[in-house]
Amino acid sequence: MFDDSPDDIFSEMEVTVDRLITVAEELREASFQVTSSEMIGPLQKEQERLLEELSVIEGMFKKKFPHSVPNSTEVRGRISKKLETFQLLNQEFINNLNKLKEVIQFQKKEH
């Protein structure tokens, strides 16, 4: 999957995080209009798969490089910022779904 260099592993991590952000953006957009899980289910499964992939890559990195790799600070910083973006998008998705759930429950009470 990777060569032995930390930069290769960090590059793979960054690509995976970029894909996570893309899926989180799609989920967030879907949460503005979703009324069923059919639309978001596949995206959530993809998100879970990417999170697992990221965990595997991180585990490989820690196994191959148990000591800090000082020259990769810039890449680590980019990955960290991207993970923050992913977390914000994911939280917005969850908040939107919670609001939608409240609206649906309110509508059921009215009938």
Question: What is this structure's pTM?
Answer: 0.80
- Please give the DSSP secondary-structure letter assigned to residue 13: H
Give residue-wise pLDDT tens across range 6-30.
888 889 999 999 999 999 999 998 8
- Please give the DSSP secondary-structure letter assigned to residue 34: -
**1 — pLDDT class (breaks 50, 70, 90):** low
Q: Do 12 and 1 form a contact (C-beta atoms < 8 A)?
A: yes
Which residue type sits at 65?
A: F
Give residue-wise pLDDT tens across range 61-74.
888 888 766 656 78
| φ, ψ for residue 36, nearest 5 deg | -145, 165
Angle at which helix 6-31 crosses helix 37-64, to 10 degrees, equals: 160
Would the CA dihedral through 57, 60, 62, 68 be positive or negative? negative
Averaged pLDDT of the chain: 84
